[in-house]
Amino acid sequence: MNAKLLSQSSLLLLLFACLAVAQEDSAAQNWPEYRGPAGNGQAIGAKIPLDLSVAKNIKWKTPIHGKAWSSPVIWGDQIWLTTATEDGKKMSALCVDLASGKIVMDKLIHENTDPAFCHPTNSYASPTPVIEKGRVYLHFGSYGTTCLDTQTGSVIWQRKDLKCDHYRGPGSSPILFENLLIVAYDGADLQYVVALDKSTGETIWKTDRDIKYGTEVGDLMKAYCTGSIFQIDGEPVLVYPSAVATIAYHARSGKPIWTAYHGGMNASSRPVMTQNGCVIVTNGMGKMLSVDPTGEGDVTKSHVKWTASKSIARKSSQLVIGKRLFMVSDKGIASCFNPKSGETIWRERIGGSFAASPVFDGEKIMALSESGKVHFFKASDKFESLGTTQIGDGFKASPAIKGNQIVLRSFSDLYCISGQ
C-alpha cells in the first residue's frame, strides 16, 4: 500500500474511532432541556434496562408534591424540576440530588391569588426548565420566568410582565441559544416569540406571530410547542410551530424567514431534522409535515415535501434515527416512516395513552404511557417488541438521562433507574 492510501486509511480509521467515542459519550452529557442536549430524545449508550420495576434497577424513588407535567433536567449532580398546586396558587422549583434522590431545595417561585383556568389534562407547571452551569431558568408561562443560582437557590432575575391568555394552561418550554433564553407565548389572545438576555432577563427581541389564523376564536389560536434551532446554510434558524402555521426565525434577531401553513391548534411536539435536511413538524391535531427549511416567505406550496395524517402523535415528539422516523401516537399506535418520502414503513397498535416523548438509547426505543406501562421496541424496518414493564402511576413528563442514570417523573414520584 502506498503512503497516500495508507494516510487516507489512517484518517478513516481515526474518523470512525472518533465517531464511536462520540456515540459512547452521548449519554454521559448533561440533559439540560426538554428532550436532551440536542433536543431530539437521544442518549446513545445509556443502556436502559428492559425491566424498570425490579428493585435492583431502581436506584431511588422520591415523592414529588403537586401536579406538574414538566420534565426533569440534569446538570452535574443536580436534577431540577418544577411543580405547582393543583389549583395553581403556588408554583415551585425543586432540586434533587442525582446520587441519592434527596430533595436539596424546594423553593416557592410564584404565589397566585386568582390563577387563570387550566384544563384538567394540563397542569400549572407543564413547561420544562432549562439549565446550564450555575443557573436554572424556570418558566411558568405568563405567570413568570425566573433565573435561579443553582448552588444557593437565590433569584438572579425574574420577569412577570410577559402576558397572554393561555386559556387552558401554559405548555411551551424555554430553550437556550448563545446569550438568549427563547420561548413562545401562543395564547388565545396574544401570540409572540420572545428572546431574553439570559444574564439579566431583559428583552433582546420580541416578534409577534404574523399568521393568518382564519378565525377569531381564541381556542383555535393557542399552542404549547417548544422551538428548535437548526443550522441552515451555516446560519442558526429557530423553527417554532404555532396554531395554524410554523414560522422560522433568524435566531439572533427574531426576524421571520419563512412560514408553512398546516392548520390545526395545540401544537406541542418539538421539531426535529432528518438526515436529508428537512424539518418535521406537527400541528397538534394529527397532521405531520416535512419542510425544506431553505425557503423564504410563505413556503406552503413550494417547500412542503409531504404531509401525513394517519396515527400521528399529537402530544409527544418524534425520533429521527438514521434514515427512519419513529413515533407513538396519543392512542398507542407506534409507527415508522421514511422521512424522505413520508411513506409508512410499519404501523403497530401497542395500546394505551401516550403524552411523554419517547427516547432512544442507541439500541431500542422506550415509550412511557399514561398508565405507567412502558414499551420497548427496536428502531428497525420491522416492528419488533422487546417487551413491556410497569412502573409508577403514569407519565406525561419525558425522561432525562445522564450516563447510566435514567430519571423518570411519574404523576407522583421521581425515579432514578440504573442503566445496565
Distance CA(84)–CA(213), nearest Å, equals: 32
370 — pLDDT class (breaks 50, 70, 90): very high
Residue-range domains of the chain with CATH: 45-64+313-420 (2.40.128.630)
User: Would you give the end-to-end CA distance of the chain in angstroms?
Assistant: 42
**pLDDT value of position 420:** 72
- For 21-59, how does the pLDDT look when each residue is reduced to its tens digit (9 = 90+)? 444 445 568 999 999 999 999 999 999 999 998 889 999
Q: Is 313:282 a contact under the CB 8 Å cutoff?
A: yes
Q: Is 327:268 a contact under the CB 8 Å cutoff?
A: no
Instruction: Find where cell 414538566 sits.
Output: 70
Q: Is 357:341 a contact under the CB 8 Å cutoff?
A: no
**pLDDT value of position 19:** 43
**pLDDT value of position 20:** 43
Going 390 to 392 to 395 to 398, the CA torsion angle's sign is negative
pTM (2 decimals)? 0.93
Residue 104 has pLDDT above 50, yes or no: yes
Higher pLDDT, 28 or 137: 137
> By percentage, how much of the chain surpasses pLDDT 70?
93
Q: What is the average pLDDT value for the chain, to the nearest integer? A: 94
12 — pLDDT class (breaks 50, 70, 90): very low
Strands (E), 64-134: 73-75, 78-84, 90-97, 103-111, 130-132
